[in-house]
């Protein structure tokens, strides 16, 4: 063969090499490619080294491998190679497409509180919490959301809350039956929370309602069990009420009520309540605010002095409530039996045997049905009603009178019963009770308690009322103190001497029976009869406020206003307007509605007076009632914390 035939043979070999390489390259078998290339090279070199340079280039290492790829790529169209899954040159590869910021990302619950667009650059996004911008790519945004720095900033930031009821009710979906079902579920959950019913009972309530009202589509569609009820009460009703109360406290004067308690796990908690003038309730009411843990085992600093006050103030700062709106604070002692200023100080003067006898009788009878049945026989023998022996509590003062009444009522039956027990069983406990029931001095102390305890119980019950009694506090304490003084002191000395100047221990003014002065001494220690605020508040009583004679005694309220600076933040002109309204009030007694003049509850009276308008639809009293209602929100007790 000639040179032409050799060139033709070389071209055929070159085509064979390129076609072989293209087929194998598509299959991604690099090792087989190199093997076949070496075989072709051997065959070409055997025929006079034809086309050795191109073939050597094809069989080179990685640098020449890319050259082969380029050769094969030129033979196969790019679209075809994409369909077959072949390789694409680096220059042919499409670069990353930048994504524009999408407004719907801001509607995502995960991003809506912090994701913002960058003004002037549609390809960038910004985090308002971290004050950092980044590429507007959903993957980049998600990675930023789970970052440590962002989580730290989010935990310290306060998210924008929305109304809980609006979240629960989706207005975008128009479903009349569904809306009625939601309303019914909200009402049932509200009833459950208002009456302190257990959530476990909700598992059986909705099936009962469905059976009771088979013709009601709403009852059949109810889906309410304990878990859903708990979530609605906590996350919907609770949050909604807290938001409403926060708005009221931000623009209203209020007082704080607090009571500390310790549960069975020894965790110290504080119940915080607020007392304010509520427009919706048309009077002074108390609302639950917060139940905060004072300190835990991991927070030993919480037990330091002043930690409780910081916790209380912090609950208001977290809701952006100005503490200048606080006008009063009510709380009892941390320990009911510690210190000289406690409610039962006078009881220390009584013999210990009196209290021990009441406790021993209850302990002897409470766990034995046989002994209770035997005691009932003595009740029938003496023609007495069979009543259970009560336990004397150490903290519930109002129950002491019931314990004393029950023991005095059954004294004879108890004495006969324990006489029999001592003679028949010779028990040490029975002997101790037997000796106490046969002691005439101990019985005299029980009879004394039966007479004196109702006086303190009635006063205690009066101060535990939820209605406004602070304006009557001074009058009530003065009457009770004077009644006790008249028991053992001369009447001329009591009536002719100011109560604040009376010395209950002055023996020169004692009556012959001078043993009962301890209670008066404790009242004198606990209550300041010369307190200028409490002694001035009675003028706010509706009867005295509408009286012309009262204006001769109290022509102006400026002395009281100066004593209560937190109850008013008025300017000089408004202070003058307040005083003018006080002077003008008795002159309008013939013009105001009769039902308003007959209102006896002070908070209701002043609230209605605030909304009273003349014939021109103008409020006649706009400053005076607000000041009076703020003063009436001063707490007289913290019993509301125990009720809640």
3-state SS of 281-338 is CCEEEEEEEEEEEEECCCCHHHHCCCHHHHHHHHHHHCCCCCHHHEEEEEECCCCCCC
Q: Is the pLDDT of residue 95 over 50?
A: yes
DSSP code at position 233:
I
> Are residues 205 and 269 in contact, defined by beta-carbon separation less than 8 angstroms?
no
pLDDT band at 334 (very low <50, low <70, confident <90, very high): very low
Q: Give the whole-number percent of the chain exceeding pLDDT 70.
A: 71
Q: What is the pLDDT of residue 187?
A: 92
> Are residues 537 and 631 in contact, defined by beta-carbon separation less than 8 angstroms?
yes
**Closest alpha carbon to 462 in 283, 633, 637, 281:** 637
Q: What is the pLDDT of residue 119?
A: 85
Mean pLDDT, the chain, integer:
75
First to last CA, the chain: 115
159-198 confidence digits (pLDDT tens):
444 555 555 555 555 567 888 888 999 999 999 888 888 8
pTM for the full model?
0.52
Q: What is the pLDDT of residue 335?
A: 40
Q: What value does the mean pLDDT take over residues 416-445?
A: 86
d(CA 372, CA 161): 60
More confident residue, 57 or 382: 382
Range name among 40-44, 214-218, 275-279, 593-597 with the lowest pLDDT average: 40-44
Burial track 420-455 (b if 16+ CB lie within 10 A, e otherwise)? ebbeeeeeeebebbbebbeeeebbebbeebeebbee
By CB neighbour count within 10 A (0-12 exposed, 13-18 middle, 19+ buried), where does 185 fall? buried
More confident residue, 374 or 331: 374
Q: Is the pLDDT of residue 572 over 80?
A: no
pLDDT band at 345 (very low <50, low <70, confident <90, very high): very low
Q: What value does the mean pLDDT take over residues 348-356?
A: 72
Q: Tokens standing for 11?
A: 């071209």
Q: What is the pLDDT of residue 368?
A: 83
Q: What value does the mean pLDDT take over residues 6-22?
A: 51
DSSP code at position 99:
P
More confident residue, 26 or 326: 326
pLDDT band at 604 (very low <50, low <70, confident <90, very high): confident
Q: What is the pLDDT of residue 613?
A: 78
Q: What is the pLDDT of residue 56?
A: 40
Return the number of other C-beta atoms located less than 10 Å from residue 481's C-beta: 20
Burial track 353-369 (b if 16+ CB lie within 10 A, e otherwise)? bbbebbebbbebbeeee
56-94 confidence digits (pLDDT tens):
444 444 444 444 444 444 566 766 776 665 566 656 666
Q: Give the whole-number percent of the chain exceeding pLDDT 90.
A: 2
Q: What value does the mean pLDDT take over residues 5-11?
A: 48
DSSP code at position 492:
H
d(CA 131, CA 157): 13
d(CA 372, CA 357): 17
Contacts of 85 (CB under 8 A, 6+ apart): 26
pLDDT band at 624 (very low <50, low <70, confident <90, very high): confident
Q: Is beta strand 254-262 parallel, antiparallel or unpaired with respect to 326-331?
A: parallel
Range name among 2-11, 387-396, 466-475, 623-632 with the lowest pLDDT average: 2-11
Cα dihedral 534, 540, 545, 547, rounded to 10, equals -30
Alpha helices in 329-381 (DSSP H): 352-365, 369-381
């Amino acid at each position: 063969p000639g040179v032409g035939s050799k060139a033709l043979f070389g071209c055929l070999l070159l085509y064979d090499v390129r076609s072989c390489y293209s087929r194998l390259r598509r299959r991604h078998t690099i090792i087989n490619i190199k093997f076949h290339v070496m075989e072709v090279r051997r065959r070409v070199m055997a025929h006079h080294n034809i086309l050795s340079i191109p073939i050597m280039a094809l069989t080179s290492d990685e640098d020449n491998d890319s050259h082969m790829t380029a050769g094969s790529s030129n033979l196969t169209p790019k679209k075809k190679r994409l369909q077959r899954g072949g390789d694409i040159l680096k220059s042919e590869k499409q670069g990353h497409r930048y994504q524009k910021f999408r407004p719907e990302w801001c509607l995502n619950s995960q991003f809506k509180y912090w994701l913002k667009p960058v003004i002037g650059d549609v390809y960038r996004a910004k985090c308002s919490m971290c004050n950092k911008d980044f590429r507007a790519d959903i993957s980049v945004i998600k990675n930023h959301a789970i970052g440590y720095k962002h989580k730290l900033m989010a935990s310290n930031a306060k998210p924008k809350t929305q109304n809980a009821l609006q979240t629960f009710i989706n207005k975008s979906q128009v479903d009349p039956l569904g809306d009625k079902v939601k309303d019914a579920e909200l009402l049932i959950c509200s009833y459950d929370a208002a009456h302190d019913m257990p959530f476990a009972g909700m598992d059986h309530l909705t099936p009962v309602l469905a059976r009771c009202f088979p013709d009601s589509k709403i009852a059949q569609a109810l889906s309410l069990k304990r878990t859903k009820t708990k979530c609605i009460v906590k996350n919907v009703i609770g949050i909604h009420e807290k938001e409403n109360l926060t708005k009221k406290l931000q623009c209203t004067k209020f007082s704080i009520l607090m009571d500390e308690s310790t549960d069975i796990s020894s965790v110290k908690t504080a119940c915080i309540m607020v007392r304010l003038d509520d427009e919706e309730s048309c009077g002074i009411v108390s609302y639950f605010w917060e139940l905060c843990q004072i300190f835990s085992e991991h927070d030993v600093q919480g037990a330091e002095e002043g930690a409780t006050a910081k916790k209380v103030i912090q609950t208001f700062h977290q809701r952006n409530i100005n503490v200048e709106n606080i006008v009063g604070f009510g709380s009892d002692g941390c320990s009911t039996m510690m210190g000289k200023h406690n409610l039962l100080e006078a009881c220390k003067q009584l013999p210990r045997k009196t209290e021990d006898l009441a406790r021993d009788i209850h302990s002897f009878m409470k766990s034995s049905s046989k002994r209770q049945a035997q005691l009932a026989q003595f009740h029938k023998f003496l023609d007495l009603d069979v009543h259970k022996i009560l336990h004397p509590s150490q903290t519930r003062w109002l129950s002491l009178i019931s314990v004393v009444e029950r023991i005095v009522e059954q004294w004879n039956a108890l004495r006969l019963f324990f006489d029999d027990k001592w003679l028949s069983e010779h028990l040490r406990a029975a002997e101790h009770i037997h000796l106490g029931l046969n002691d005439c001095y101990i019985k005299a102390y029980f009879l004394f308690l039966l007479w004196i305890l109702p006086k303190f119980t009635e006063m205690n019950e009066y101060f535990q009322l939820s209605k406004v009694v602070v304006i009557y506090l001074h009058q009530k304490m003065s009457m009770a103190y004077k009644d006790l003084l008249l028991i053992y002191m001369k009447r001329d000395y009591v009536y002719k001497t100011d109560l604040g100047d009376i010395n209950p221990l002055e023996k020169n003014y004692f009556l012959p029976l001078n043993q009962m002065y301890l209670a008066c001494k404790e009242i004198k220690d606990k209550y300041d009869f010369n307190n200028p605020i409490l002694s001035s508040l009675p003028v706010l009583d509706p009867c005295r406020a509408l009286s012309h004679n009262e204006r001769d005694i109290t022509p102006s309220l400026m002395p009281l206003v100066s004593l209560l600076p937190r109850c008013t933040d008025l300017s000089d002109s408004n202070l003058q307007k307040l005083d003018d309204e006080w002077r003008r009030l008795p002159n309008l007694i013939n013009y105001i509605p009769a039902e308003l003049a007959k209102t006896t509850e002070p908070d209701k009276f002043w609230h209605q007076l605030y909304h009273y308008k003349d014939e021109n639809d103008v409020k006649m009293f706009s400053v005076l009632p607000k000041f009076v209602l703020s003063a009436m929100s001063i707490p007289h007790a913290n019993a509301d914390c125990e009720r809640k």
